[in-house]
Structure 1
Amino acid sequence: MFVDKAKIFVKGGNGGDGLVAFRRELYVPEGGPAGGDGGNGGDVIFRVDEGLRTLMDFRYQKHFKADRGEKGRNKSQHGANADHMIVRVPPGTIVVDDDTGERVADLTRHGQEVVIAKGGRGGRGNIRFKSSVNTAPAIAENGEEGQERWVTLELKVMADVGLVGFPSVGKSTLLSVVSAAQPKIGAYHFTTITPNLGVVDLGDERSFVMADLPGLIEGAHTGVGLGHDFLRHVERTRIIVHVVDMSGMEGRDPYEDWVKINDELRLYNPKLAERPQIVAANKMDMAESEDNLSAFRDQVAELRPDIVIMPISSLTKQGVREMLYRVADLLDSLPDVSELEESEQAAKADEGIVYKYETTDDMAFTISKDNEVFVVESEGIERLMRRTQFNSYEAIMRFGRILRGLGIDDALRKRGAKDGNTIRIGKFEFEFFEGGSDDYLYEDQ
């Protein structure tokens, strides 16, 4: 089974906690702090493996969590950093953040890597807090939590040439003739429901990858039929070979079919209308095909005089070789997939970024009221709270001093906070005293 879409959960490893410890050697009086830092948590990294062709593995494993860093050790030893988790994905995989809809990564080249979930930093041990004022600090930090997110993976087939056309026009038969691929072939609509890939070797040291893509129907750009499941794969191809049944054996008009398919491509993505296209006028071994081809040429010339029309028969192989050489010549004049996508991404400022993750220590905050509770919101402060060990009196005092230094006390007073009011920051609630932030009392919600 071909799987080209999957939703998975990824989580970077938590950082290891810092340690509170002191030197206790027999002949070292007042030995001082010796608690080491915690190790960093592992990242979740996606790596492109050209040996993979589907997202099948993600049907059975949907959760990927990196290991956490080791806790700090005594004798000022740093806890070990966790190993990164490497997740292999096929070329052509797009990673989208499920909550925001933001494109996180577009993975096309073998060996390409991107960090999808960043591991948390290790907490600092008490040796980091030693100063001339406090020579024996009993304070350390918790490790930072690793980033976690749900992401959607979408696979777009990586092929040089994409075969498009209505169902049963002979795309699968053509692929089986020109390559070693063995797609399912039948005289009924939608025989092909998943993309098939084949390598076409011309014997002159030139070869290319051709994809037989599921047949289109009207309304596909809105998701009708196989809809978007088909169209996403066309975006990756450098050349479109539009297979048209020139026999009209099912009462269809070849020109109308050609127009409808091109309309679906254009409505889905206007750039597809600009993609180089060769029309493979198929089934020329049938009786009515010659007359239909003549009328088809005249009609297409009025609308798109640049379109190349190659009469072929997948059954008798008539004209197939000539068409393949024409395709190869056109490919030689075009940039490869990576260059094409880089140029398209450069034109879009938001797509020029492969990976985004906020790691700044921005302490900006807002204050609002929830009934009688003052609510302080700040990503930076909440991050600091997760690293603070609130079972330590010294840690609480340090946290209070940081809040006071940020001006949160003054801001709360201006908003009307008085002695005994409840202050909520993240999942913690504090009791406010006008004497200063050092006098905050707290309780976990």
Structure 2
Amino acid sequence: MAKSNFFTVAKLKSLPPGKHCDGQGLWLFKRKDGGAQWTFRFSLFGRQREMGLGSYPLLSLAEARKAAHDVRRIVANGDDPIKIKRRQRNHASAQEGRFHVLAYAAFEAHRSTLKHEGSDGMWFSPIKNHLLPHLGMMPVVKIDQHDIKQALSRGWETSPVTAKKALSRLKVILSYAIAEGFDVNLGIIDQARILLGAPRHTVTHIAALDWAEASAFYQSLGELAPAELALRMLMLTGVRSDAVNNMRLEQITKDIWTVPVEHVKGRKGFTKPFRVPLSNEVLRVIDLARAIEQNGHLFPNSRGGPLNKMSMRNYMVERGLEARPHGFRSTLRTWLSERTECAREVAEACLGHFAVNDVEDAYNRADYLERRKPYLADWASYLIGGGCKNATD
């Protein structure tokens, strides 16, 4: 290794392109275009590291030696100068450290765990609607519990479910900021929750049709229009609207409908295709839908694509009903509880609800397909006005 203080000012100017050592870890990398960069090499915890100090001649030889001396002292204390420099840069950079920049960066880092990788906007919308208007331009290190309270106060009263989601997303963003080296205290989230208090707004659940009225409604549906056939499928199977809207012929194998992962509610990596047993009435509805099928879509829109997500809802609104399509899941679940002896885990499986946590899911792989069949067949029989073998008096 070259001796310490190998360079002179005159020698620096005559150095050829390449890497040259001044000693004790200080190097100069000279480029072919005439530019040059000071770097410092060091070893910490058994790892060889290299960090930039600045460009030459903006950073003179004397200044580079002083900078190397300062870094050398940091390493001697067992600290990583690269991490310290990163934190200092983040804190000094108003643009890099602003909340809106970190919010989008955290979303990009997190999106692989989200359904559709967050492309539907559902994960980011609480951030966009509740947090960015108030906190977006603030440096993340300056945000405190009072700022969070001010941002969420209105939503905490008018739309508490969404506001709580915003608070949950905020924790993800602040955790990401900490990982990036920003001096952020996660405790401000709990402090903000205390300041916000309990929401006084009553949460309104999606209106559902009473199971006693479901049969009459089902029998009133037509057998030609996509929205009405889709509603039949929705009521019969208890799945979510997204799955019905995007139902395709190739998803059906005999009397089983396999709903693809992308149309099963849940986070990416924690979901799997959902098998739905098809009763005779469901198969009849599928046969009716074949007459209007376009491009593989059983319930097409006017352009041959999947049914618009508002079509079934709009139909029910036009009928003057307060109930909404998603409410039919509640209708089915209530009927199973009140009119059958269906076990809880099987009833929940009819709605696509399985293990309550990741550990249980890792061991219990059952989807209760065979046990679901008779109950969904009875539900179909009830809807069309027939008897129910497994129903109680």
Return the TM-score normalized by structure 2.
Answer: 0.19
Return the TM-score normalized by structure 1.
Answer: 0.17
Structure with the higher strand share, 1 or 2: 1
